Amino acid sequence: MAVKQPPVSEFTPVEHGRRSLKSTLIRSLLIILGAATVAAALELFLVPNNITDGGITGISIIMSYLTGWKLGVFLFLLNIPFLILGYKQIGKTFALSTLLGITVMSTGTLLLHPVEAFVKETVLAFVFGGMFLGLGTGLVLRSGGSLDGTEIIAILLSRRTVFSVGEIVMILNVFILCGAGFVFGWDRAMYSIIAYYIATKVIDITIDGLDQSKSVWIISERTHDIGDAIISRLGRTVTYLSGEGGFSGEEKKVIFCVITRLEEAKLKEIVNHFDGNAFMAVGNIHDVKGGRFKKRDIH
């Protein structure tokens, strides 16, 4: 009797180890790059112009201003308790990635502190400071780490309250930025709010990419015509799903496909051409893997 052999892995243990090591090195390099970028944004743009950030970073800037201690000292010390919480509640990999990021960021601010501010024009300082702050933070977040303890607090509190992570972070930052108003003046607090807003937008772009993916669901009487046009004109594959109308009970054909944000307008044009009354739902996707989906330029 033939004995059924277990499936053989596509990769040997050595190859798996190499892939894992390579992935870890790339992730670590991105965290180091991101944390160094944040340090430069703080010491060369924001802090010299009394513009602060939200979260533990904002508290550290305020404490450094009031005590005269170096910013890097507060950035490291104030984040340690939340790093321990993250290790216990979220995981070892996250904690180690966060420790690497916080260490590089703190050390970077200490090294850059003697350097003269890159710009002294306030508008340029909060615009470019916010951009670099968002870019660096986004790289760290995308690589599985964090640079601010308030994000860890928000994750833990969201599990026990009705508030989302974003809502908790926003509430905490309102208090921090208001505190900056009393310390640096309300004009600087307003500049800080704008810089914070710019940073959050750049974080989104860094994590999701400029060419963000979108999922599309289409219900129409001409599903195959629309599907063929999507395949031929956009070069995207589609999947036909069977559905049933909740009100009418009629069988419905549903088109599902994934496109890029740049292709959304063209897709709507295709759908309207075949069926102006078609139902279409479009949603953002943070990550796409597998299948035949590949981001491409529109021709």
pTM above 0.75, yes or no: no
Mean pLDDT of 185-204: 89
> What is the per-residue pLDDT for 167?
74
pLDDT over 70, % of the chain: 86
List, for residues 95-122, the tens digit of each pLDDT value. Answer: 888 899 999 999 999 999 888 877 888 8
Residue 163 confidence (pLDDT) above 80: no
Burial class of residue 98 in the structure, from the number of CB atoms within 10 Å of its CB (0-12 exposed, 13-18 middle, 19+ buried): buried
Q: Which residue has the higher pLDDT, 156 or 232?
A: 232
Q: Where are the domains of the chain?
A: 21-208, 213-285
Residue 299 confidence (pLDDT) above 50: no
> What is the per-residue pLDDT for 265?
82
The chain-wide mean pLDDT, for the chain, equals: 84
- pLDDT tier at 19 (50, 70, 90 boundaries)? low
User: What CATH class is the domain 213-285?
Assistant: alpha beta
Q: Which residue has the higher pLDDT, 8 or 131?
A: 131
> What is the per-residue pLDDT for 166?
66
